[in-house]
Amino acid sequence: MKQQFIYFSVAAALAVGSPAAAGLPTSSTPATPATSSSLGPERASIREAVVALSDVCLPVLRGTALKPRAEAAGFKLRNGAWVLTIADKRQIALDPPDNPNPTVCTITIDASPGGGTSLRTALDAWAAGQSPALAPIRVDESVAGSSHERMTSSWSAQTPNGVEGVVLSQERTLQGLPTDGSLDESTLYVSLTPA
């Protein structure tokens, strides 16, 4: 069911500056733990999510081996899952493409309540800085449920490798706080539909 949801979410979403503009380091090399911790946990989480998108998900979707890319970005394989631990108990989980979803790579990011805007801004800057730039398709589109709201933003572009798409999905309670009182969880779906 999760796999179908991911596929349909990305497929539906696919029917601005630079990382520096978002206040993030512009290096495409993974941050060292000292660099990440000096940014503060929120900015470090956002920076590492953008690094995972650029340096792990897209190369893997283009055919590069997962393990060297994930390890170079600081991810460790724990209990069958690729995880990157950030300061303050935050983490980023990487779910690479698999047989049911060979064109989708998923990144799950912990963020402070209300921190979703910063992540969306960083992704918008990243998308605009690509060649070709990924155009925004949806920006903070909201779907309210009985006790929560799901915000979705997406970007897409036709590239020589196929259609690249990025979808950011964030869920929060209607009061703006996570449902369990802890960190918010944002999910980033990266897709590459071959040409």
pLDDT tens string, the chain, 195 residues long: the values are 343 333 333 333 333 333 333 344 333 434 333 344 445 777 888 899 999 999 999 999 999 999 999 999 999 999 989 999 987 678 899 999 999 999 999 999 876 666 677 888 999 999 999 999 999 998 888 876 656 678 899 999 999 989 999 999 987 665 555 455 456 678 999 999 987
* Buried/exposed code over 2-40 (b: 16+ C-beta within 10 A; e: otherwise): eeeebbebbeebbebeebebbebbeeeebbeeeebeebe
pLDDT at 144: 67
> Per residue in 47-103, pLDDT tens?
999 999 999 999 999 999 999 999 999 999 999 899 999 876 788 999 999 999 999
Strands 162-173 and 76-78: unpaired
- 130 contacts 5 by C-beta, under 8 angstroms: no
* Phi, psi angle pair for 30, to nearest 5°: -60, 145
Task: State the total domains in the chain.
Answer: 1
- Domain of residue 91: give its range: 2-194
CA–CA distance, 63 with 177 (Å, rounded to integer)? 38
